[in-house]
Structure 1
Amino acid sequence: MRAQLEHRIESELVSLARTSKDAVELLPADASPAEVQRLAMRLGASARARVTIVDAQGKVLGDSQVLAAEVEALENHTDREEIVRAYDGGVGVARRFSTTVKQQMVYAAVPYRHAGSSGVLRVSLPLQDVDVAVGQLRMIMAVAAVLAMVFSVFMSFVSAHYATRTIRDLFSGARALVRVEPTHLAASPTGDEIGGLAGSINEMAQAFGETVSTLAQERDRFGAVLEGMGEALVALDGEGRVTLCNRAALALLGWSEAPLGSTLREAIEQPVLHDLAQRARRDGKSEQEVGIETPGGKHLLARATRLTGADGGVVLVMRDVTDLRRLEKVRRDFVANVSHELRTPVSTIRATAEALVEGALEDKEHAMRFAQAMLRNAERLSRIIADLLDLSRIEAGEQTIDIQPVAVGAAAHRAVEIVEGAASKRELRIILDVQDGLAVQADEAALDHVMLNLLDNAVKYSSEGGHVLVWARRAGARVRIEIRDDGPGVPERDRERIFERFYRVDKGRSRQVGGTGLGLSIVRHLMESMRGKVGFVPNHPRGSVFWLELPVADRSSIPPDVTAS
């Protein structure tokens, strides 16, 4: 009651302030301070409230409850709460203790403009008036309550005459409502109308309880199904407002909480979803794959179905198919790449075989060249198939990985010995710079495969007469191995894709040196299976650095015959 009365007083004060503001704005441009004070006194007397006129600097120009001689001595009002709010929002309302009139006041202030300057007109009333009004209202209500009690007692005597007939009507209505055989859960033993009514009400309560229990079970089952769904579900009413959504919808659409009561357009700025819901509302059902604008660029398969009923509600069911579409693209790219890689050697073998059949077999010089071409391409096919089988086994988890301490120096020496012949032909110098006593937790065969692959690539792509460095150091709980070359390097646009299957930076040179395009992909999968990492950084001033990181191991557990480096 008090809050309502105070709110009403505030509204009236705002109206008085706006009316009084008009009077201030009509003052002559050269109005003296005495005229302003007289206007404040007249406005205060007319409104039966305190009226204060303040200029833009917070100086009081007139106050209806202060003598003209005392106006100059009043404090600056710039920081008064109601005045600050009036400048900010056009109307300022506040309740506080007035240091001028020494009592609790409620204030309402509005800005005005006069003669090219601005200020604030404030109207206030003491809250003591509110207390008086509340007391009067309470007195009135107390008297009304006493009168109502007297009237109710009188009416109870009047209605007692009709009670039996009313109870009999209730009995018939309750039994008709239940429509089942009575069970007398708590019927009165007297057997009168009251007892029959009690029995009927008990029957109705039992039936109602069973119905509520059934509905509760259905609600719990529905809630469990809704929250257990992998798909996101959002229900909209006839006005397009969200009435229900499950946990999957919050995660998929990035909502921190369910936007119940908001329209779908307010909840998520995806016009295609709004159009989908509109089509379902019109046609009954619609389905579409949509792209959600997120940093990850999600793809959703969304279905919208109109709810049966007159309100025109719609249920949206959405499934994240981002990974599925990505896998489909990977599969398509893989098939295309495999087809392309196999087509070249197969075409070459077929062409040379046809040439031999058509007579080149009799020409020994050409026959030998054709036979060598068939051999090279057959070997290339064999390498591609072998790498594909290796990659397939690794991705399927069929590659046996036996993690144990492996000496880094020994593994590096084994890889160098294999590529030394190719390096000598190209006048390359291989430098080993491996920290003494260094060992890692790895599968020995897998680590040999990884280092041989990276070292072989470095030899193939380095400039003739250049050098390749194999460098290894311990870094905390891990060991970092780097294979550096001074070849052409990898352009920045290709660096993120060099570990993909069949991806080549220089396709012509890769085929020239016999690469299959699968080596780095196998390296990445082997390192992941050993709980390690692999990456690339450019070498300076030119070339490439491929690095490996593996957990450090205790070298003392390695047999002496395999630790030599």
Structure 2
Amino acid sequence: MRIKWLIIPIYLLVSSLSLLLFWLGAQVQTGIRLEIDFMALAFAILLPGGIVYFFADRLGERIERIYSAVKGIAQDQSQPTNLPEFTYELGNLSREVTELGQRLKVSISTNRRESQKIQAILAGMQEGVISLDRVGRIVLLNRAAEKLFGKKQDAVRNRYLSELNGFEKLEELISIALEKGLPGQTELLIRSKMMIRVQVNPILEEKDRSQGAVIVCYDITELRRLEQLRTEFVGNVSHELRTPLTSIKGFVETLLDGAAEVPDLRERFLNIIHKETLRLQRLVDELLTLSRIENQRPDVCNGRSRIQEAYEKIKPVIGPYAEAKSIELEVVIPNTLPEVAMGIDLLSQVLLNLMENAVKYTAKGRVWLHASYVNQSIRLEFGDTGCGIPQEDLPRVFERFYRVDKARSREQGGTGLGLSIVKHIVEGAGGKIWVTSKLGSGSLFICELPTRNGGITNEEEPKDTNL
């Protein structure tokens, strides 16, 4: 109801009552019965009534404008920056409303900017962050938490975390944080493949009452994998070192116990000790090589060399080895291949390890090395007609100390580090290596290396080198 329709009836009632009392008072005072002049009575009431109506209407309009301004502030739709200057109480009220609106505008703008900053920080975090209210319902998930748990924020907001995963350890920590205000930490395996560390911290009020909790999740899958690799590496190194050392120790003790007096035994035992010492030296050398490559990986590609030159460097080693086993060696290296972005020593080591590995596991037949220029890279194919590799072992052949046939590898003096060294060298230079094989039909190792100048040279036509 507009204010003028409240003021006018009150005015009419009060005016009529006042005239009635005035009329009765006049009669009592004069003792004469006075007649009522309705025309004068109506004029006396309506004329001031019109004036009251005019000012009441203007007052109502002013109050209506102030009301609209306050309503706009409440709905955040407008700001009362253009309220007219009123006088007296309405003027004070309008000024206060204007200042209130301006302060709210600044406050809302500041809060919005801070909220955007927090959202940007949470979105950029590598750790997953989940915010819960005081009863354990989800308020917020950042992008990393969405990836970890495979859930979108809009799909889980206002739902209990216990409805989404069923991890008893995490639910217990959340209950402790919400009820007792105590932090907690645990590790969880999610989606059967990812290990995460979870830190639950309560959000405390002044009186140590929890009004919610924040869960921070760290992906430690890679950390656990590296720890497992380190444990396995230490175990493998210890085992590989212990084997030749045990052999050396045993034969030395036998010699000290009197076998040194028998020439045939002494010579045979010393030859075995020498063989085991060479094996031990080779293992240590390859471990040092692997460590050096890992620690100086950026330096792997600081150099240039040609495939032909690297092969000529290892030819005196690999040629007699293949000839001794009556294995046909086929090498095809075009002279026009561009330079490889790798030093000749490292490239020679790649060629030697892969070709030596092929000859070692080939009893009869042939071993080949084919080089070509494919997709702006040098493609090297190392093939053999040897025993092959089972399909289940193919993903692990580049692991340290992994052997397909452990007994045969040790019998032939292998350390299990050659292919791992090759992979580190190739990947350190920006290349890639993989293997295809069929049990009983041989193996094919394919290596792609980046070139130094990115193209074929114009020296001479491709030429095959067959040995």
TM-score by length of 2: 0.71
Partner of 1:506: 405
Query: Where do 1:226-237 residues align within 5 Å?
Result: 226-237=122-133
Decide whether the 8 Å contact of 2:380 with 2:447 is kept in 1: yes
Structure 1: how far apart are the matches of 2:409 and 2:111?
69
Query: Where do 1:177-196 residues align within 5 Å?
Result: none
Structure 2: how far apart are the matches of 1:156 and 1:557?
106
Structure 2: how far apart are the matches of 1:245 and 1:487?
55
Structure 2: how far apart are the matches of 1:325 and 1:441?
36
Decide whether the 8 Å contact of 1:303 with 1:317 is kept in 2: yes
Q: CA RMSD in A?
A: 3.9
Partner of 2:431: 532
Structure 1: how far apart are the matches of 2:329 and 2:89?
110
1:469 and 2:365 are equivalent in the alignment:
no
Structure 2: how far apart are the matches of 1:277 and 1:266?
10
Structure 1: how far apart are the matches of 2:459 and 2:255?
56
1:372 and 2:268 are equivalent in the alignment:
no
Give 1:328's match in structure 2, choosing from 227, 230, 248: 227
Partner of 2:140: 244
Partner of 2:302: 402
Decide whether the 8 Å contact of 2:331 with 2:465 is kept in 1: no
Structure 1: how far apart are the matches of 2:376 and 2:328?
31
Greater mean deviation of Cα atoms: 449-458 or 390-399? 390-399
Question: 1:559/1:353 Cα in 2 relative to 1: closer, same or farther (>3 Å)?
Answer: farther
Q: CA deviation at 1:498?
A: 0.4
Decide whether the 8 Å contact of 1:419 with 1:456 is kept in 2: yes
Q: CA deviation at 1:501?
A: 0.8
Deviation string, structure 1 residues 348-403 (Cα, Å, up to 9, x no partner): 22223333333333333222223222222221121111111111111112544334
Partner of 2:174: 277
Query: Where do 1:16-415 residues align within 5 Å?
Result: 148-149=1-2, 152-156=3-7, 219=115, 222-223=118-119, 225-259=121-155, 261-265=157-161, 268-272=164-168, 273-284=170-181, 285-293=183-191, 297-308=193-204, 313-397=212-296, 399-404=299-304, 406=306, 408-415=307-314
Task: Give SS of 2:273's match.
Answer: helix
Decide whether the 8 Å contact of 1:440 with 1:550 is kept in 2: no
Q: Give 1:402's aligned amino acid.
A: N
Question: 1:207/1:549 Cα in 2 relative to 1: closer, same or farther (>3 Å)?
Answer: closer
Runs of 4+ with >6 A deviation:
188-191, 198-214, 557-560, 562-565
Structure 1: how far apart are the matches of 2:194 and 2:90?
67
Structure 1: how far apart are the matches of 2:272 and 2:180?
64
Partner of 2:327: 428
Count, aligned residues: 391
Decide whether the 8 Å contact of 1:259 with 1:267 is kept in 2: no
Decide whether the 8 Å contact of 1:237 with 1:311 is kept in 2: no
Deviation string, structure 1 residues 396-440 (Cα, Å, up to 9, x no partner): 12544334362x344444434312222222222212244563445
Partner of 2:73: none
Q: Which runs of 5 or more residues in structure 1 are unaligned?
A: 1-147, 168-187
Q: CA deviation at 1:550?
A: 2.6
Structure 2: how far apart are the matches of 1:400 and 1:557?
27
Task: Give SS of 1:345's match.
Answer: helix
Deviation string, structure 1 residues 432-490 (Cα, Å, up to 9, x no partner): 24456344523232221111111111111111x43212223443433432222222111
Q: Give 2:146's aligned amino acid.
A: L
Decide whether the 8 Å contact of 2:434 with 2:447 is kept in 1: yes
Q: Give 1:395's aligned amino acid.
A: E
Partner of 1:457: 357
Partner of 1:556: 457
Question: 1:307/1:476 Cα in 2 relative to 1: closer, same or farther (>3 Å)?
Answer: closer
Structure 2: how far apart are the matches of 1:209 and 1:459?
80
Q: Which runs of 5 or more residues in structure 2 are unaligned?
A: 12-51, 64-83
Structure 2: how far apart are the matches of 1:524 and 1:359?
47
Deviation string, structure 1 residues 305-358 (Cα, Å, up to 9, x no partner): 343366763322111111111111111111111111111122222223333333
Structure 1: how far apart are the matches of 2:147 and 2:153?
10
Structure 1: how far apart are the matches of 2:310 and 2:145?
51
Q: CA deviation at 1:196?
A: 6.1
Task: Give SS of 1:517's match.
Answer: coil
Partner of 1:12: none
Partner of 2:317: 418
Identity value in percent = 33
Q: Give 1:300's aligned amino acid.
A: I
Partner of 2:80: none
Q: Give 1:429's aligned amino acid.
A: E
Question: 1:441/1:358 Cα in 2 relative to 1: closer, same or farther (>3 Å)?
Answer: same
Q: Give 1:320's aligned amino acid.
A: D
Structure 1: how far apart are the matches of 2:332 and 2:117?
66
Partner of 2:25: none
Question: 1:550/1:200 Cα in 2 relative to 1: closer, same or farther (>3 Å)?
Answer: closer
Question: 1:368/1:264 Cα in 2 relative to 1: closer, same or farther (>3 Å)?
Answer: farther
Structure 1: how far apart are the matches of 2:295 and 2:134?
50
Greater mean deviation of Cα atoms: 241-250 or 323-332? 241-250
Structure 1: how far apart are the matches of 2:424 and 2:86?
87
Structure 1: how far apart are the matches of 2:339 and 2:160?
55
TM-score by length of 1: 0.59
Partner of 1:445: 345
Structure 2: how far apart are the matches of 1:189 and 1:484?
94
Decide whether the 8 Å contact of 2:136 with 2:178 is kept in 1: no
Decide whether the 8 Å contact of 1:416 with 1:430 is kept in 2: no
Decide whether the 8 Å contact of 2:335 with 2:460 is kept in 1: no
Q: CA deviation at 1:190?
A: 11
Structure 2: how far apart are the matches of 1:207 and 1:438?
74
Q: CA deviation at 1:522?
A: 0.7
Question: 1:291/1:156 Cα in 2 relative to 1: closer, same or farther (>3 Å)?
Answer: farther
Greater mean deviation of Cα atoms: 319-328 or 377-386? 377-386
